[in-house]
Structure 1
Amino acid sequence: MARVAVMGGGIGGLGTALMLGRRGHTVTLFEQDPRQAGDDPDQDFHDWARPRVPQAVQPHSFLAPVRTVLRAEAPDVYEDLLARGAREYHDFDWFDRHPPHRPGDEDLVTLRTRRIVLEAALAAAVRREGAVEVRGGRRVDGLTFEAGAPTRVTGVRTGEETHRADLVVDASGRRSRVPGWLTEAGCRPPVVESHRTGIAYLCRWYRLRPDGPRDPGRVQNGSSAPFALAGVFPSDNDTFALHLVVSTGDPTRGALTDPAVFEAAARRFPATAAWLDLDPEPRSAVLAMAGLDNRWTSLTDAEGPVVAGLVNVGDSLLHTNPTLGHGVAMGLRAAQHVAAHADRIAADPTAYHDWTAEALRPLFDAQVTADRGHEQRLAEGAAPAEEALDGTAPPEGTPEGPAEDATPADLRVAARSACAFDDPVVMRARAQVRHLLLTADEAYGTEEVQRHLTAWLDARPEFTPGDDGPTREEWNTLTRV
């Protein structure tokens, strides 16, 4: 069994520490923030200042791998998560009746909850785990090294203390200082690939009133205009968030931080208007997040691992903007892999790096490609991409008008999501892609799905992809630009 030091007490660090401890490893978790998520999610969510974790107050939808990993590794955490108010949503819940079950359908479930609720359930389990020691309020200031080929990390430094470990796991997030420490120690530099997204997010949280309406009706969770996306994220304990996404260069971006302007804009999209019509209680200011990028930090290069005794998970390994909701899912998958192979990884991290390249890198590349499309679309008012917020797409019909030069192949791609909300066979394929279970080619490329898609298009010869949100002129008027 290995002695493991985990740097960072976010979801990736908590999950890694818990799974390692339950496999018999001795784990010390270092987190510089002295506070942990507790039993009052509203107080933690609204009153805990976390400048290093700006995504903590942004809405989340946790995809199938989150549920799958927790049920396999920590079923008590999963049950606690539900007891704290998280809700399951199956993609087939859109229909009045689920189609006949097929193997794998049981995994097409989104967990609807705020991030803080998942953190609280994980933190509570870690506190119960005897093999894990949590050192809160202890910032890791550096690493200790031993000469070798490659150099080996032998522990971490906190102030004047040194903590030796067979394996150090960097789960300190997107602002990790580990790459700099490795370079200063004379290691070959980690390979960092970064892509700016040019996308700004603005959200506002609400709670349904106890004596008020609660059903928004049959409405999709995403809407779009050529220059903006809108979405709703139903969450735990009667809370939900509305989200607007614009280009960082959009001149209306600043105006949207005004709650009155934000709501006026949100009311012009069917998805978000339906929830505002429930007269919910606002629970936050408009929360903005920009400066987003997709970054992959590899601790291996063409010559092999740049260091031994150290691996990265979560946002320290890769972080993506929240468009497709991949972050926590990929973080827990990496945590599970480290826990399952800790002794081997401590001896030689090569296999772990190979696994991340095979299992996670394609998802990162897909996010980069999707974000390039979103950025171009929002900046230039291009034709809508197939997938919008929360994996949804704008419904057919548009006040802006269709793209006139769409090819038959383009129409088939654009029709996937629209068809999915009518046809459970295509919805299954859409869900398999959204939940990171299959690639788009694998899910949509089957003869059955293609046959259903063809039948749907044949019944709608006038179908063109489009938007359901406001025109640019309407948008400029309501944002006073």
Structure 2
Amino acid sequence: MTLGRTAVVLGGSMAGLCAAGALAPHFDEVVVLERDVLPADAEHRRGVPQSKHPHFLLNSGRRAISDLFPGFEDDLIAAGGMHLMPSMDAAYLERTGWASRKQSSMTMVYSSRILIERVLRDKVRALGNVRIREGVSVTGVSTTGGGTSSGRVTGVRFRQAQPTEDGGEERLDADLVVDGLGRGSSVSAWLAAAGWDEVPVQTLDAGVTYTSRWYDLPADRPESWWWQHLVIMPTQDTGEHPDEHEYLCNFFPVEGDRAIACMGSWGLEMARSVDDFTASAERVRTPLFAAAMAACEPTSEVHLTRSTGNKWRRYDRLSVVPNGIVFIGDAICAFNPFYAQGISAAAGSALILRAQLAGTAALDQAFHRRFLAAQRKELKVPWGMAMARDRGYENATGTETLPAWQRKVLASMTWPVFNLITGAAREDPVVDDHFGRVFNLDESLGTMMRNPRVLYGLVRHQVNSALGRRTVPFGFDPQSDPPGTDWTPGAAAQEKEAVG
């Protein structure tokens, strides 16, 4: 037995595709309305400009998508995605120099955004009751009783994105609509025009800009390239230095023996041209970044993105929520993309939607309240992480900015706390495991910092550091190549035994 005849998803990007998977078991038909004509292969398209930048598929997101679409991860790997252990396969330039390599419990799947979407589209198209209508623009929602407890969205209106001779507007009735239209969604304005209260919005924009270029990796890589991923963290030096020392840089591996070189900053101007991109790369904190680019063959122009503010449309705070519609992905909560939370948060919301649909008999106010409450609990974790960092920047704007004194306190604490956690994680597998869980949205930072065993590990690290008892070295010269030694306890002995 289903909950209705038709569900409609607005938008066919990651959030919309995940929503389609959540809806399919509960409706006779699911229709996805997408403005672009979707490519058959892994290709960039107009509606997803951010696909030209690196995308981390966090573990919480990859598990959620695999839950919605069994076999997704295997298909992604088969299509070229790479299953790597960042602590062994990535070279990290931290505060004072290169971090040491060592094994950990955290693994990740690396691929491009366009490949993730292509594999997910294939999964959606394999669902017998899901239909994707491409090349159409949503123009509005149909409603009844706007602003009342029984008021609901009853359908959507749309037209061909490219005008045709008959070019008229179409209407599609729906038992449930999912807004997956992203940051620029107009749905909240349409609902306000229909009689519902304006949605309260929380915002914080730290002025993040990032710029990327794609490369083919060389067939014969230098012997020193034990790494597959380069990460250069912003400097913590408060003295005079080039702006590029403030950049967060990635040389990010993707399928097809390719990599994406990406530089980003908070509140600084970024390169737009190839010449400026190359010149900026030569001024970052290690020469390896520019050298890696120079050893590769560029295959794209420079792509720049500025639309990076955090924005949470608080539908859960409306006194009367509209029935017949839910919100997912950036349409409800968009994050600073630096923190790689968007895909995972959207997939998590889709899992919540599926669970709430399975536990309800009617799509009434009670259902929508339950869904929004469960979604709010999930979104608080990534939102809190984004606020913890972005609120510390003097250039940040929005409703969630702090008074100057609080901002200064937060800014003064951010790096020392980060250094303490990462330092302890090098020495303590329990702290390392919890820090990995926080990074992958499996645990909130607050939960981690309230864990007695984690607190013990942090204090022990502080004491051992003061006494000079560190067991894992770090801070290797950033002007040299990162050392490839495996500092996992026992690894050196095992290597020696294997050679002997």
Contact 1:112 1:235 in 2 (8 A): yes
Distance 2:11 2:476 in 1: 41
1:370 corresponding residue in structure 2: 389
In structure 2, the residue matched to 1:73 is 68
Q: Which residue of 2 aligns with 1:420?
A: 425
Distance 1:211 1:466 in 2: 29
Residues 59 and 241 of structure 1 are in contact (CA less than 8 Å); yes or no, is this contact kept in structure 2? Answer: yes
| 141-150 or 441-450, larger mean C-alpha shift | 441-450
Amino acid at match of 1:86: G
**1:53 maps onto 2:48 in alignment:** yes
2:364 matches 1:347: yes
> Does the 8 A contact of 2:199 with 2:318 survive in 1?
no
Find the partner of 1:433 among 413, 438, 441: 438
Contact 1:8 1:172 (C-alpha < 8 Å) held by counterparts: yes
Asked if the contact 2:83–2:108 (Cα under 8 Å) also holds between the matched residues in 1, the reply is: yes
The one-letter code matched in structure 2 to 1:118 is I
Q: Which amino acid aligns with 1:418?
A: G
Report what 2:343 is aligned to: 328
Root-mean-square deviation (CA, aligned residues, Å) is 3.2
Aligned to 2:297: 281
TM superposition score normalised by structure 1 = 0.79
Query: Counterpart in 2 of 1:28?
Result: 31
Q: What is the TM-score of this pair, normalised by structure 2?
A: 0.76
User: Is residue 91–residue 427 contact of structure 1 (8 Å, CA) maintained in 2?
Assistant: no
Using the TM superposition, give the Cα deviation of residue 7 of structure 1 relative to its aligned residue in structure 2, in angstroms: 0.5
Aligned to 1:225: 235
How far apart are 1:429 and its partner, in Å? 2.1
Report if the CA contact (8 A) 1:223-1:271 is conserved: no
The answer (yes or no) to whether the contact 1:209–1:281 under 8 Å persists in 2 is yes
When residues 353 and 446 of structure 1 are mapped into structure 2, their CA distance, relative to the original with a 3 A threshold, is closer
For 1:229, give the aligned amino acid. Answer: Y
Q: Which runs of 5+ in 1 are unaligned?
A: 100-104, 378-404, 471-481
Q: Does 1:86 align with 2:81?
A: yes
Classify 1:96/1:293 alpha carbon distance in 2 versus 1 (closer, same or farther; 3 Å). closer
Q: Which residue of 1 aligns with 2:323?
A: 308
Aligned to 2:497: none
Instruction: Give the AA of the match of 1:70.
Output: I
Residue of 171, 179, 203 corresponding to 2:180: 171
**1:337 is matched by which residue type in structure 2?**
I
Distance 1:111 1:275, change over 3 A: farther
What CA deviation, in whole Å up to 9, does each residue of 1:432-451 have, x standing for no partner? Answer: 11011112232244343334
Change in Cα spacing, 1:267 to 1:194, as seen in structure 2 (3 Å) is same
Segment of structure 1 superposing worse, 210-219 or 19-28: 210-219
SS for the counterpart of 2:138 is coil
From 114, 117, 130, the equivalent of 2:115 is 117
Contact residue 234 and residue 240 of structure 1 kept, 8 A: yes
Moved more, 203-212 or 453-462: 453-462
Post-superposition Cα deviations, 1:339-393, rounded to whole Å, max 9, x if no partner, equal 232373733311111112211134213312311225669xxxxxxxxxxxxxxxx
Q: Per-residue displacement from partner, 1:305-350 (whole Å, max 9, x unpaired)?
A: 1x11111101101101112110000001111221232373733311
Overall identity of the aligned pairs, in %: 25
Once the two structures are TM-superposed, the CA of residue 118 in structure 1 deviates from its matched residue by 0.9
Q: How does 1:376-455 map to 2 (within 5 A)?
A: 411=416, 413-455=418-460
CA distance in 1 between counterparts of 2:287 and 2:375 reads 37
1:24 Cα offset (Å): 5.4
Residue equivalent to 1:318: 333
AA matched with 2:7: V
Whole-Å Cα distance in 1 between the matches of residues 286 and 154 of structure 2?
52
The answer as to whether partners of 1:62 and 1:110 remain within 8 angstroms in 2 is yes
Structure 2 CA distance for partners of 1:442 and 1:271, relative to 1, 3 Å: farther
Q: Residue 154 of structure 2 aligns with which residue? A: 154
Contact 2:62 2:73 in 1 (8 A): yes
CA gap 1:451/1:262 in 2 versus in 1, 3 angstroms: same
2:261 aligns with 242
2: CA distance between counterparts of 1:429 and 1:271? 29
Deviation at 1:422, TM superposition (A): 4.6
Output one character per residue of 1:53-97: Cα deviation in whole Å (capped at 9) or x when no partner: 332212111101121112222123222211111112335546876
Which residue number corresponds to residue 20 of structure 2? 17
8 Å contact kept, 2:381–2:444: no
Structure 1 residue 269, shift from structure 2 partner: 3.8
The 1:119–1:205 alpha-carbon spacing in structure 2 relative to 1, beyond 3 Å, is same
In 1, are the aligned partners of 2:7 and 2:27 still within 8 Å (CA)? no
| 2:352/2:375 contact within 8 Å kept | no
Task: Give the Cα–Cα distance (whole angstroms) in 1 for the partners of residues 102 and 20 of structure 2.
Answer: 40
Q: State the 1:284 CA deviation.
A: 1.9
Question: Could you list the runs of 5+ residues in structure 2 that have no partner in the other structure?
Answer: 90-99, 160-168, 237-242, 397-410, 480-500
Q: Map residues 452-467 of structure 1 onto 2, 5 A cutoff.
A: 452-461=457-466
Change (3 A) 1:272 1:184: farther
Aligned pairs, number: 422
* Partner Cα separation in structure 2 for residue 469 and residue 346 of structure 1: 57
Q: Which moved more, 1:213-222 or 1:413-422?
A: 213-222
Structure 1 distance, partners of 2:101, 2:279, is 32
